[in-house]
Copies of this chain bind each other. A is one copy, B any other.
Amino acid sequence: MIKAAPAKKIPPSNPLEDLAVRLAPDMKSVNALILERMVSEVPLIPQLAGYLIAAGGKRIRPLMTLASTRLFDEKTDRPFRLAAAVEFIHTATLLHDDVVDESDQRRGQASANALFGNQSSVLVGDFLFSKSFELMVEDGSIDVLGILSKASAIIAEGEVLQLSIQNALDTNINQYLQVIAAKTAALFAAACEIGPVITGQSPEIRQSLRDYGHHVGMAFQIADDVLDYQSSAAELGKSIGDDFKEGKMTAPVIYAIEAAKAVDDKEFWVRTFEQKDVTQDDLEHAQNLIRGSGADQKTLDLAQKHTQLARNALNCLPESDLKNTLLDLALFALNRKS
């Protein structure tokens, strides 16, 4: 049985910001490396990469590499290159995702492919991906190279699987979980395993941090997939409805389809997902069906389970402020509103 960490109220502040503040000096070094390694004689490369990297994003993955190192070693500069490598892999997958999804928006701004073209996005993604391996080679750990090359292959597999089941109404929750474990949680897990590896921790500690990263990644992605159908998120500035538009089979939809009893409701999902015949009011109707059937709550329960598993994974660590921030971060994955 899973040993449950004590239940805890939602922390009042934003633990991701707490983490960023706590690790600000480290992150400064990582950001400097990121800028330095985007440089190329070909001007389009730093332009495009810089556009996406400057556009923000939470830098959660490199923060996890830094945090998973600082739990065990307060001084080493080894995580800097590797955190930059993790962010480059993430940025490369975002660039390629936007091409695959034909997105015109990313984080509320024009997506890189909309602005620079699909062709450049594919190639600059490849460039950043190669640069991430150059950074790992400089660090010199074959273990880390193994962790991140494996994670990268799994991410690509997950994306292909997601594409294969797009618009497929018979997708079940396990297929969904398989997709997000690969496309999202694999890099979170890898990012968190780097710290114990480069500081020479035991295989058990490695596995615990890996588990923590995996479950936080799962909770983040599941919560994100709920938010994509929540008007309250839209009010807070998050763009919603993308998954619906793209026919992505995410948990809220899978649960709502399972719960659909009325012929009209079943036909609605067939029309909007299978037949890709979507009209203006359909998103609102989908939101109503998801809320009305309790599919949103059922999805959040799933995220909650991963939050709890993430917290449990840290039981093996001694108490520390940083550990507490990581515990809070797992709750935040679940409770964020946008």
Contact = CB atoms under 8 A, between A and B. Distances in A.
A160 B120 contact: yes
Interface string A279-300: 0000000000000000000000
A40 interface: yes
A149 B133 contact: yes
Given A44-B164, A122-B99, A163-B123, A145 B137 contact: yes
Interface stretch (A6-14, A62-70, A150-158, A205-213): A150-158
Interface stretch (A22-30, A124-132, A236-244, A249-257): A124-132
A140 interface: yes
Contact of A130 (B118, B123, B152): B152
A133 B161 CA distance: 21
A156 B96 contact: no
A149 B126 contact: no
Interface residues of A, number: 43
Given A130-B152, A133-B152, A42 B145 contact: no
A39 B287 CA distance: 39
The interface residues of chain A, by DSSP majority, are classed as helix
Interface string A81-100: 00000000000110010011
A149 B127 contact: no
A202 interface: no
Contact of A149 (B92, B122, B134, B161): B134
A215 B227 CA distance: 55
Nearest to A133: B149
B137 A153 contact: no
A100 B124 contact: no
Q: Name the 6 nearest CB pairs between A and B, nearest first.
A: A130-B153, A133-B149, A130-B152, A127-B156, A126-B156, A100-B119
7 contacts: A96-B122, A99-B119, A100-B122, A100-B123, A120-B160, A129-B152, A140-B142
